[in-house]
Structure 1
Amino acid sequence: MRRETQRSVRFCLNGKERTETVDVERSLLDVLRADFAIKGPKYGCGLAQCGSCTVLVDGAPARSCVLRAAKADGSEIVTLEGLADDERGVLHPVQQGFIDAQGAQCGYCLNGMIMTTVALLRANPAPSDTEIRSALRHNLCRCGTHQEILESVRRAASLTAARQAGGVAT
């Protein structure tokens, strides 16, 4: 019996339907970066240990370095590039929160921190510091900006609440 090596996959990427024929062993990260020029998710460790490759697959954080693109068939995939409202020129509240609280230095962990925070705030709009730390525990920050990251998530929660209430957070 002959083993399948190529497969056509269809998924919604940042709000747009995409179809691609991929090698069944190819990672989603490789497909996103090489075939679709998506640069938010980064290659860090290749072992799903650092979080730099995190994307949302059907709303849940997923490590795209170990997720085979063929397994994403039929899924909704959101990357860092898909968060902002480009038509209105408005960043996602989590992106803005990380800017406001200076939660990024080198950028290595930023993608994973932001994508994981988006999922966290969807599930829990007002997380405690303990819940934030727990949600981000699998994202490696090499610069040691842990306090700024914590503050960034708090700021993002505040901005998200303000947007949902129709107001402006200060």
Structure 2
Amino acid sequence: MASFFVRIFSFFHISKVNLKILPMEYIFLAIVILILLIGVFLTFRFSEVKHLKKDKKSYYEKEIQKVSDLLSPSEKIMRYDMIMHHILKDYSYSGTVGDQLKAKPRMMNNLNVIWSLHKLRNKLAHDMEPISADLLEEKAREFEKEILKLL
């Protein structure tokens, strides 16, 4: 093993290299370095958090304002969930809201809170159980606050 490293280090100090026949260690080293460079590039390329364009952000702010001004708390929750779905699509998260949340979007600091709000939306859409108006109003305000954080 030590001779392998001696060969690697001596490779860089040799002024005349026979380019026709390279030992396997040099080829292996070149491949490893290439893979590492590609890995570093991909890490930096895809690790940056996306931001919405100014016009999209403005559009969603207006939609949120419309919802907060006009609708009942249960309707607000339903609409906020739909707005969140479209925002996440603009951040390149595909699928249903559940699929999008399972992807654990990096821009969401309170993923558990958003999951609970989405579950409440599903309960409103699919269950016949009544939910108190006070709780719905509180959750609608919470949903609005969380969506605004995404912008």
- Please state which band the TM-score falls in when normalised by the shorter chain: under 0.3
Which of the pair has the greater relative contact order for Cα pairs under 8 Å at 6+ separation?
2
TM-score (ref. length: structure 2): 0.24
Structure with the higher strand share, 1 or 2:
1
TM-score normalised over the length of structure 1: 0.23
Larger Rg: 2
* More helix per residue: 2
